[in-house]
Amino acid sequence: MGYANAAFDLLKRSAIPPYPQFYELLYTYATGVNPSLNNRINAVFRSGVSPSTDLAEALYNEFLRSDLNERMSSVSERMHARIESVHDAIDAAMTTANAYSGSLQSATGDLERDLGGDAMRELASRLLFETRRMQDTNRELERKLEASRDDISALQRDLDDVRRESMLDPLTKIANRKSFDDGLADAIEEARQSGVPLCLMLVDIDHFKSFNDSYGHQTGDQVLRLVAMTLKSNIKGKDLAARYGGEEFVAILPSTDLKGAMIVAENIRKAIQAKELLKRSTNEKLGRITASFGVAGFKPSDNASSLIERADQCMYAAKRAGRNRVVSEDELIEITEMPAADVSAA
């Protein structure tokens, strides 16, 4: 309610219509979950420029609107229109070329006969006309092909943007499950061919369901974003952080052995634990987040499923051992021999 009241107050003070998208924009600003959006809006406030409906619409479209399907449809329509235009130009050029070829054949037959001066001039005039028409058609085709080249370059950029967006999790803005599946397949293939080490890290937020039930899904979403940001900021190079599903995250660590992967996982565990949650509206302290980690190394006999399965077993071993810890497959046998604790509220 504190965020809602703040959003409505900003709508009133800015004289922006309380349309749903503008409420969402300022509600998101009030929560502070999108730093880029907040920086932009704060800059507007500092500039002294009066907010307008157009400005609010532009900010909403830039930061919040999920228009992936619309953009895909737009790119498809533009591509179709451009291809049709090129086809029409090619058809016209072929028709003109066929007519020109026919005229040349006819002229060849005429030239084989004795022609008088008037007939020769008429033939030359006709060939000149057909040649100029052919030149005009070719120029038109060149113009359309040139325009198509520019359009196709722009379409390629749009398609690249859409593809990148389609590979991101919309909530956390890190790689989604599809991107992870593709990345893991590539990493396994590279490790198999080159012999370099490869590790997989699986991360699960401890007691997330209880946290979500106690403080609401909005706060739960902020926790997911926080963990995703922490995970992504603590890996580098060719490493890939992704949301695996629900409150589970995963990181692919190419060229990293098990010892190195354990160090990375421990650093991330400490970074997550160091962050204390605060409810902005009431300054109520909600406690700290912790997460359990499982780390497995690639073996020549592995495929994606077996590698994920071992990392998953390690992660659940960390849960059974008391949560908020990192377990590697080297430790798995030792951990699983300990008495199992209840992990139903994981």
pLDDT (0 to 100) of residue 57: 82
For residue 56, the model assigns a pLDDT of: 85
The residue from 140, 189, 247, 284 that is catalytic is: 247
Q: Of 32, 63, 94, which one is at a domain's C-terminal end?
A: 63
Any domain includes 310: yes
Whether pTM > 0.75 for this model: the answer is no
Find the Cα–Cα–Cα–Cα dihedral 263, 269, 271, 275, rounded to 10°: -170
Q: What is the mean pLDDT of residues 236-249?
A: 92
**Is 105 a domain residue?**
yes
d(CA 115, CA 251) in angstroms, rounded, equals 85
For residues 230 and 271, the answer to whether their CB atoms sit within 8 Å is yes
Mean pLDDT computed over every residue of the chain: 82
104 pLDDT more than 80: no
Segment 14-17 long-range contacts (CB within 8 Å, at least 24 positions apart): 14/50, 14/51, 14/56, 15/50, 15/51, 16/51, 16/52, 16/53, 16/56, 17/53
For residue 123, tell me if it sits in a domain: yes
Residue 341 lies in a domain: no
- Number of domains the chain is built from: 3
* Residue 100: pLDDT over 80: no
201: in domain = yes
Give yes or no for residue 256 having a pLDDT over 90. yes
Residues 254 and 141 in one domain: no
Give a yes or no: residue 88 inside a domain: yes
Is pLDDT at 70 greater than 80 in this prediction?
no
344: pLDDT strictly greater than 50: no
- Decide if 142 is catalytic: no
Between 225 and 134, name the one with better pLDDT: 225
pLDDT for 340:
47
Q: Do both 220 and 257 map to the same domain?
A: yes
Same domain, 255 and 200: yes
Domain membership of residue 27 as a residue range: 2-63
Answer yes or no: do 59 and 74 share one domain: no
132 and 209 co-located in one domain: no
- Residue 276 pLDDT greater than 70, yes or no: yes
What CATH number is given to the structural domain containing 293? 3.30.70.270
Give the confidence band of 341 by pLDDT, cuts at 50, 70, 90: very low
Q: Which residue has the higher pLDDT, 18 or 293?
A: 293
pLDDT at 84 over 80: no
pLDDT in tens, 184-201: 999 999 999 999 999 999
122 falls within a domain:
yes
**Residue 209, number of CB atoms within 10 A of its CB:** 14
Is residue 294 scored above 60 in pLDDT? yes
State the SS3 of the chain.
CHHHHHHHHHHHHHCCCCCHHHHHHHHHHHHCCCHHHHHHHHHHHHHCCCCCHHHHHHHHHHHCCCCHHHHHHHHHHHHHHHHHHHHHHHHHHHHHHHHHHHHHHHHHHHHCCCCCHHHHHHHHHHHHHHHHHHHHHHHHHHHHHHHHHHHHHHHHHHHHHHHHHHCECCCCCCECHHHHHHHHHHHHHHHHHHCCCEEEEEEEECCHHHHHHHHCHHHHHHHHHHHHHHHHHCCCCCCEEEEEECCEEEEEEECCCHHHHHHHHHHHHHHHHCCEEEECCCCEEEEECCEEEEEEECCCCCCHHHHHHHHHHHHHHHHHCCCCCEEECCCHHHHHCCCCCCCCCC
Q: Which residue has the tokens 């054949």?
A: 105
| pLDDT for res 345 | 45
